[in-house]
């Protein structure tokens, strides 16, 4: 599947059916995350790969999206400032996660970006996974096979969200 197809087919899946994710595919997903841009190329991300069914079952306390999931990827970030004083580590995480979600879709798997519910449980999950105190655990991605086929959620049409030259100008100027 090409990247544009993956973009239009990616959807959030919270129910999975049994099925494995081979290490070769998992490595491609992790590689996609590794290749994401980061401010000043700080490369401030690390991944914890969880395959242990007992640990994965405990993630049900965070969100009910982990049943029948063969692998979970936890995205660990190192907060900090860039040499210019900027702080882009949250954006770096978002770019990394989106790359992985597109790779997951492109390889025929499904996932959901788990962040909001995770942040309410971050200290507990960090302890469960042995993540150091000075790191942040921002996202966990269950990776598996969607229980049901489905479509991407409705998105606003381009003509409702695109402006040309100035906000409010809905049509490009014709020369």
Question: Which CATH number is 54's domain given?
Answer: 3.40.109.10
Give the pLDDT score at 142: 98
Q: Please give the residue range of the domain that contains residue 131.
A: 3-149
Q: What pTM did the predictor assign?
A: 0.93
Indicate whether 154 belongs to any domain. no
Number of domains in the chain: 1
Express each pLDDT in 96-155 by its tens digit.
Answer: 999 999 999 999 999 999 999 999 999 999 999 999 999 999 999 999 999 999 998 999
pLDDT bracket for residue 62 (50, 70, 90) = very high
Alpha helices in the chain (DSSP H): 3-9, 23-34, 53-58, 89-106, 116-120, 122-129, 158-161
Q: Which tens digit of pLDDT belongs to each residue from 13-28? A: 999 999 999 999 999 9
Question: 63 lies in a domain?
Answer: yes
What is the structure's pLDDT at 172?
Answer: 86
Residue 144 bridge partners (DSSP): 110
pLDDT, tens only, 80-91: 877 787 789 999
Q: What does pLDDT average to over the chain?
A: 94
Which pLDDT band, with edges at 50, 70 and 90, does 31 fall under?
Answer: very high
In this structure, is residue 163 part of a structural domain? no
Give the helix, strand, coil percentages of the chain, each rounded to 5. 40, 15, 45
Give pLDDT, residue 58: 96
Closest by alpha carbon to 59, among 104, 113, 131, 124? Answer: 124
- Binned at pLDDT 50, 70 and 90, residue 171 comes out as confident
Q: What is the largest CA-CA distance in the chain?
A: 64
> Is 93 within the bounds of a domain?
yes
Structure confidence at residue 85 (pLDDT): 79
pLDDT at 86: 77
């Amino acid at each position: 599947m090409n990247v544009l197809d993956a973009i239009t087919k990616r959807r959030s899946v919270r129910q999975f059916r049994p099925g494995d994710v081979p290490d070769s595919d998992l490595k491609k997903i992790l590689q996609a995350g590794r290749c994401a841009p980061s401010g000043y190329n700080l490369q401030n991300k690390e991944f914890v790969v969880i395959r242990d069914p007992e640990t994965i079952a405990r993630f049900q306390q965070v969100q009910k999206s982990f049943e029948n999931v063969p692998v979970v990827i936890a995205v660990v970030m190192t907060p900090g400032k860039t040499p210019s004083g900027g702080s882009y580590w949250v954006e770096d995480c978002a770019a990394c996660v989106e790359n992985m979600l597109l790779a997951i879709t492109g390889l025929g798997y499904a996932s959901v970006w788990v962040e909001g519910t995770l942040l309410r449980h971050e200290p507990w999950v960090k302890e469960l996974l042995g993540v150091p105190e000075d790191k942040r655990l921002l996202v966990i991605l269950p990776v598996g096979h969607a229980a049901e086929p489905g479509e991407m959620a409705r998105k606003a049409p381009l003509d409702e969200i695109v402006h040309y030259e100035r906000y409010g100008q809905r049509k490009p100027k014709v020369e």
